[in-house]
């Protein structure tokens, strides 16, 4: 009888938060001080804390999505460890002598852990074959540390290794993710499902880890009925007693197969529960859907993330799309729109970035995700920068770290000193969390779905009662400002269940 496969995840959970302080303090523990100015970083953390810029944070805890995706699509017996792996846990598992293969899905944040485990297993458990998966497998060193490396879907290469027919049908996979949201002293917890229903992306952006694995290949191997069934089973597994649920499409090109997803939305108009859909997609895709089909069923789009990346020299995926008009159209139907913006592209300067920020604000999005350009191995950008000598020799963990520039730029200094403060300034200009909640509330109040009307009525009544209780003579400022703040906090307490974050590369 064949021995089992052990699926693990090398990942640093301190990356899984919007808290700038949390991320930076996690990095300080790694021993990478030679690659940045420790005094500068400590001062930045202290300033951030003093200014109260971490009054809001969102943290997420996915249950080893790449491991569950592979395990679900392999016929061999297997075990999935859902928490990030440690050397101690690896020892405990391998001592049982149950396992022939150790699959380590390695995110760049956990590369040092992968290296430590791989070296130990090679020495102490030589009969166990080490398989490197996910983005970390694309680092050159990985081929020396592991017996095998996986590319693309991960599943097809793994099947070849374990003597399973490579082209057996794939099985759709959902993965639980837990969340914690902190806002002005209050912490809320929740959970939702990550849905893996497609592979790759049609756009092939030069910086994207999906491009590193798939190029421009985009595959949708599952039927509408399979997707519906997976949503129902995820609800039964994760939140069976709740009449509300959230599914986040864990793909870089969510809803990309328009014919397929129109059928999914049709099939899911009547579910045993109300399900909010959150997805990353592109502007050209989302504008081809009707608003009623997106919002009026029991499966309804609540939040969409659109990658703008740059407005001065935009990517082709947004060419010909009026982003402001699209944004207004979606928001009018009660859909939150989150735009992603990247700084650190070659043509950017501090001055023209300010120009782009003004253009972004003019679009009037519900929220923004501001990111620095990151170097994901095997992307076209990574390979071009390496060939031209622009990549800086840093640990893999710093190739994609928030606020760290790991390459030579014509206008910005490498490391944290230019990029980190600039990110903070832009984020503060684009996003005020109180204002975001007010904006989200205004958009929520535009929903026409029957399942949302009771909540809308409750908020209206409570807000009106609060308004009537105020005596304008006791306030220096207009009472409408006080009422708006009350309504925003009411939205957080009654409606808000998930920050508008996305996991488009969970299997990578």
Contact between 323 and 363 (Cβ < 8 Å): yes
Q: Give the whole-angstrom CA distance, residue 418 versus residue 424.
A: 11
Question: What span, in angstroms and rounded, lies between the C-alpha atoms of 363 and 221?
Answer: 35
Q: What is the C-alpha separation between 47 and 309, in angstroms, rounded?
A: 28
Distances in Å between the Cα of 317 and the Cα atoms of 1, 157, 248, 307, 320 are 50, 30, 22, 9, 9
pLDDT values of the chain reduced to their tens digit, one per residue, 508 residues:
568 999 999 999 999 888 899 999 999 999 999 999 999 999 999 999 888 766 778 888 999 999 999 999 999 999 999 999 999 999 999 999 999 999 999 999 999 999 999 999 999 999 999 999 999 999 999 999 999 999 999 999 999 999 999 999 999 999 999 988 888 778 888 899 999 999 999 999 999 999 999 999 999 999 999 999 999 999 999 999 999 999 999 899 999 999 999 999 999 999 999 999 999 999 999 999 999 999 999 999 999 999 999 988 878 889 899 999 999 999 999 999 999 999 999 999 999 999 999 999 999 998 898 999 999 999 999 999 999 999 999 999 999 999 999 999 999 999 999 999 999 999 888 876 556 778 889 999 999 999 999 999 999 999 999 999 998 888 877 888 888 888 888 888 888 876 545 554 556 6
The whole-number pLDDT of residue 500 equals 42
Interacting residues of 196 by C-beta distance below 8 A, sequence separation 6+? 65, 69, 172, 173, 174, 175, 250, 251, 506, 507
DSSP-assigned letters across all residues of 311-367: SSS--GGGTT--HHHHHHHHHHTT-EEEEEEEE--TT--HHHHHHHHHHHHHHT-SE
Is the Cα dihedral 405, 408, 409, 412 positive or negative? positive
**Residue 51 near residue 427, CB atoms below 8 Å:** no
CA atoms within 13 A on the CB side of 84: 18
What's domain 173-373+432-440's superfamily in CATH?
tm_1862 like domain (3.80.30.20)
Alpha-carbon gap, residue 157 to 137, rounded angstroms: 12
Span between the terminal Cα atoms of the chain, in Å: 31
Question: Angle, to 10 degrees, between the axis of helix 87-94 and the axis of helix 111-124?
Answer: 30
Q: DSSP labels for 201-224?
A: -SS--TT-HHHHHHTT-EE--S-H
Residue 152 gets the label, from left (phi > 0), alpha (psi -120 to 50) or beta, of left
DSSP tag of 171: -
pLDDT at 64: 95
Q: What local confidence, expressed as pLDDT, does residue 489 receive?
A: 83
Name the residue ranges covered by the structural domains of the chain. 4-19+54-161, 173-373+432-440
Would you say the C-alpha torsion 293, 265, 279, 14 has a positive or negative sign?
A: positive
With contact defined as beta carbons under 8 Å apart, do 69 and 12 qualify? no
Rounded to 10°, the helix 479-494/450-469 angle is 140
- Collapsing DSSP to helix, strand or coil, 182 comes out as strand
CATH number of 4-19+54-161: 3.40.50.280
Strand-pairing partners, residue 372, are 343
d(CA 26, CA 21): 8
Three-class SS state of 60: strand
183, two tokens: 């806002």
């Amino acid at each position: 009888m064949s021995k089992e496969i052990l699926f693990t995840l090398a990942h640093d959970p301190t990356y899984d938060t919007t808290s700038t302080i949390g991320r930076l303090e996690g990095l300080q523990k790694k021993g990478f001080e030679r690659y940045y100015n420790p005094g500068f970083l400590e001062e930045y953390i202290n300033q951030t804390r003093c200014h109260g810029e971490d009054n809001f944070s969102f943290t997420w805890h996915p249950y080893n999505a790449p491991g569950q995706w592979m395990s679900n699509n392999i016929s061999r017996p297997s075990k999935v460890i859902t928490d990030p792996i440690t050397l101690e846990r690896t020892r405990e598992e391998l001592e049982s002598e149950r396992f022939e293969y150790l699959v380590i899905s390695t995110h760049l944040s956990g590369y040092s852990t992968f290296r430590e485990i791989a070296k130990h297993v090679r020495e102490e458990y030589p009969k166990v074959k080490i398989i490197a998966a996910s983005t970390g497998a694309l680092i050159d060193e990985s081929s020396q540390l592991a017996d095998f490396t996986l590319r693309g879907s991960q599943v097809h290469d793994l099947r070849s290794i374990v003597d399973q027919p490579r082209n057996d049908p794939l099985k759709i996979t959902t993965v639980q993710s837990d969340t914690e949201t902190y806002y002005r002293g209050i912490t809320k917890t929740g959970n939702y499902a990550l849905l893996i229903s497609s592979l790759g992306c049609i756009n092939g952006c030069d910086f994207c880890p999906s491009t590193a694995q798939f190029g421009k290949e985009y595959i949708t191997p599952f039927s509408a009925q399979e997707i519906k069934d997976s949503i129902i089973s995820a609800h039964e597994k994760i939140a069976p007693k709740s009449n509300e649920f959230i599914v986040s499409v864990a793909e870089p090109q969510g809803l990309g197969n328009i014919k397929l997803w129109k059928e999914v939305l049709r099939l899911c108009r009547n579910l045993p529960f109300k399900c909010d859909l959150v997805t990353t997609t592109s502007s050209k895709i989302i504008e081809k859907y009707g608003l009623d089909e997106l919002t009026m069923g029991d499966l309804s789009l609540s939040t969409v993330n659109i990658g703008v990346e740059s407005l001065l020299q935009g990517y082709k995926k947004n060419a010909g799309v009026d982003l402001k008009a699209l944004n207004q159209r979606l928001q009018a139907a009660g859909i939150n729109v989150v735009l992603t913006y990247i700084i650190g592209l070659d043509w950017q300067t501090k001055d023209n970035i300010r120009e782009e920020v003004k253009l972004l604000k003019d679009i009037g999005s519900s929220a923004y995700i501001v990111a620095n350009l990151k170097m994901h191995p095997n992307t076209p950008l990574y390979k071009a920068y390496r060939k031209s000598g622009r990549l800086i020799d840093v640990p893999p963990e710093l190739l994609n770290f928030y606020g760290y520039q790991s390459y030579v730029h014509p206008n910005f200094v490498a490391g944290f000193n230019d990029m980190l403060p600039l990110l903070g300034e832009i984020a503060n200009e684009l996003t005020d969390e109180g204002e975001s909640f007010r904006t989200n509330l205004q958009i929520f109040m535009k929903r026409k779905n029957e399942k949302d009307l009771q909540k809308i009525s409750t908020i209206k009544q409570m807000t009106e009662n609060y308004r009537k209780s105020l005596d304008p003579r006791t306030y220096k400022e207009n009472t409408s400002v006080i009422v708006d703040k009350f309504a925003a906090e009411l939205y957080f307490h009654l409606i808000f269940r998930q920050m508008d974050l996305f996991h488009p590369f969970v299997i990578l």
